[in-house]
Amino acid sequence: MDWAYQSSFSIEGGNFENAGKASIEIKKILKNLKISDEILRRTAIVVYESELNIISYADQGVINLSVTGDKILISVDDVGPGIEDIELAMQEGYSTATDRIREMGFGAGMGLLNIKNCSDELQIFSEVNKGTHLSIIINRMERES
């Protein structure tokens, strides 16, 4: 597989002041790679939601971006509490956010669902008290309406 671009972004858990920095940087990278606006929008949502999940729930994490001729691959790994029930966590409105997180305007229980809806493929692996891994593929060809 020929890589057009690869990069990694470290995310610090609990650091809400930096929320969105990785997604903004990735958006700039994808614009420079001439990715279409629709694919760019979907990728930015996926990365932003992933970034917020790390900041909100994990101690630390990393978002890896790989761009190929036909796909955008995003892997997200965090060290944190993990997800006890992935099926439940995928339900609209389900959240384990603390009051502090909700007071800041986050934790509405839409993060994983938004990631799923903006992805062409999503796999979630999680181990309680260890962390979570997301494997996300966004095809560079736009979806049919």
Question: Cβ(67)–Cβ(110) under 8 Å?
Answer: no
Q: What distance in Å separates the CA atoms of residue 9 and residue 94, rounded to the nearest whole number?
A: 27
Q: Average of pLDDT values for 68-86? A: 95
Rounded CA separation 76/55 (Å)? 12
pLDDT confidence of residue 71: 95
Q: What is the mean pLDDT of residues 75-97?
A: 92
pLDDT at 45 over 70: yes
Q: What pTM did the predictor assign?
A: 0.92
Tell me the one-letter amino acid at 136: I
CATH class entry, domain 3-139 = alpha beta
Confidence of residue 143 (pLDDT cuts 50, 70, 90): low
Give 14-25 pLDDT, tens digit per residue.
Answer: 999 999 999 999
Q: How confident is residue 130, by pLDDT bands cut at 50, 70 and 90?
A: very high
H helices of 8-125, in order, are 21-32, 37-57, 86-89, 99-103, 111-118
- pLDDT at res. 81: 95
Angle between helices 111-118 and 37-57 (to 10 degrees): 150
Taking Cα atoms as reference points, which of 63, 53, 74 lies closest to residue 119? Answer: 74
